Amino acid sequence: MTTVICPYCFDRSSAAKLPYRCLMSPSGVRGGMPCGPERDDVWAGFMGPGVPPAARMRGPVFTPARGVAALRSGLLGGTAGSSVPCPGCGVSTPVRVCRSCHSDLPSDYCDQDSRIIALVGPKASGKSTYVSVLVNELNQRVGQAYGASLAAMGQSTQQRDREMAEDLYERLRLPDATRPAALGFNDPLLYRLSVPRSGRLGNGTRHTTLVFFDAAGEDLAGAEAMDRYTRYLSAADGIVLLVDPLQLGSVRDRLPVHDGPPLPMVETPPQQIAADLAAQLRAHGKGGSRGRVSTPIAVAVTKSDMLKSLLDPHSPLLRNASHPQGTFDEDDRLAVHEEIRSLLTDWDSGALVRQLELDFSRLSLFGLSALGAPPPADAPADVPKSGPQPVRVEDPLLWLLAHRGLLPVRAAGKERVK
């Protein structure tokens, strides 16, 4: 049974139980009239008072008679890719809606299990830049290494990807600050990740829906603000916490006088975000043994391009992982983990790492750069002239996926593929 988690309200449902929305398209089926719009108070209630009255009128939502849905799913060998005729007008519709909030789900969203990845970090830590560069890398270099592909699902994700890619890779412009949730809920980013799978029953492909949120830093700046994201955080299968080294006092003191762009403002300390996050998750039953949260957390130091002068020339942070034979390399992950651990210990006497280790039972440390070089000194809102040259952006997500058994792993200390 495929379990679908609504990426808007996080209601969990079996795919077979999701209602449909009539598209109100005229097609002359039964010579009848097309359906007219109906007031969707469930959806309007979820979206809040900002929805104008006219927008509340939407295609009627219906739950197909049991026999119809079962027959369809049996015939088509799946539960959700199918269309079902509207009982009002007889025209088939593929559009599924969430039972609880009536948000429309992209038609291919319900065909596979979903994994929610929460992306958190202080303001200007690099979340929006990271997620766009990550998507691009997964589609290209990393996709090639694993024989995997990533497809944006639904119009809103496709449009945002297009706009962000044009800005970052063509116009060489950095993203604007993300708008806080008080100004309207930012849509989740929805992707279908397809990874080849070889098993006893032969080779095939495993599809997983990935849901990312690119929250505004100020929405994560305190326990109260974070409350808005509670459902999202507690539904997460994995968390990526970005730490901006340029916002840490001791790193700022250690950087050589440089001619790069001005250093960012110091925002919420990552330690506080981690502590608030752990408290939220514990309050939602994610506290495991000995009070530590069981949700896996990947903590990534961003903007590693600015740290070159503090690193050994052989540091693993200076090059991408090799992904030998399309596997996630545990030795390489551990080398990065230890390197970041010792850097953090040096920077703040290990306060952040200690806090993370006390709060989270599944933790791995990463270091990455989305741009590969600092923005030009004379144009701090621009991508470096050579375009983004990312280093290690994929590691945190791949670790979370490998952790869930969604990627082949080369175990630590072994040459062999597990």
Ligand X SMILES: Nc1nc2c(ncn2[C@@H]2O[C@H](COP(=O)(O)OP(=O)(O)OP(=O)(O)O)[C@@H](O)[C@H]2O)c(=O)[nH]1
49-52, long-range: CB within 8 Å, 24+ apart, which pairs? 50/184
Site for Zn ion in 53-112 (CB under 5 A): 86, 88-89, 98, 100-101, 103
Would you list the DSSP string of 137-185? HHHTHHHHHHT-EEEE-HHHHHHHHHHHHIIIIIS-BPPPPPPPGGG-P
From the list 27-35, 249-257, 316-324, 403-411, the region that binds Zn ion by CB under 5 A is 27-35
Nearest approach in angstroms of CB 234 to Mg ion is 22
Nearest approach in angstroms of CB 340 to ligand X is 15
Site for Mg ion in 63-122 (CB under 5 A): none
Site for ligand X in 167-206 (CB under 6 A): 174-175, 177-178
Residue bearing tokens 């299990």: 113
Output 61 or 119, the one with its CB closest to Mg ion: 119
Pairing of β 238-243 and β 297-301: parallel
Residue 410 — φ and ψ, nearest 5°? -95, 110
Q: What share of the chain is helix, strand, coil (3-state, %, to 5)?
A: 40, 20, 40
From the list 11-19, 118-126, 287-295, 317-325, the region that binds ligand X by CB under 6 A is 118-126
Site for ligand X in 370-389 (CB under 6 A): 370-371, 374-375, 380
Number of Cβ within a 10 Å radius of residue 52: 8
Output 100 or 272, the one with its CB closest to Zn ion: 100
With CB under 5 to 8 Å by kind, the binding choice for 132 among Zn ion, ligand X, Mg ion, none is none
Residue 362: strand, helix, or coil: coil
Residue bearing tokens 């703040």: 348
Question: CA 174, CA 388: separation in Å to the nearest integer?
Answer: 10
299 binds ligand X (CB under 6 A): no
Nearest approach in angstroms of CB 348 to ligand X is 20
23 binds Zn ion (CB under 5 A): no
Residue 331: strand, helix, or coil: helix
Radius of gyration of the CA atoms of the chain, in A: 23
Binding mask 124-163 for Mg ion (x = CB under 5 A): ---xx-----------------------------------
Would you list the DSSP string of 181-215? GGG-PPPPEEEEEEEEEEETTEEEEEEEEEEEEE-
Instruction: Select the residue interacting with Mg ion from 100, 178, 194, 361 (CB under 5 A).
Output: 178
128 binds ligand X (CB under 6 A): yes
With CB under 5 to 8 Å by kind, the binding choice for 9 among Zn ion, ligand X, Mg ion, none is Zn ion
Nearest approach in angstroms of CB 244 to ligand X is 7
Q: Which residues bind ligand X (CB under 6 A)?
A: 121, 123-129, 174-175, 177-178, 216-217, 302-303, 305-306, 369-371, 374-375, 380
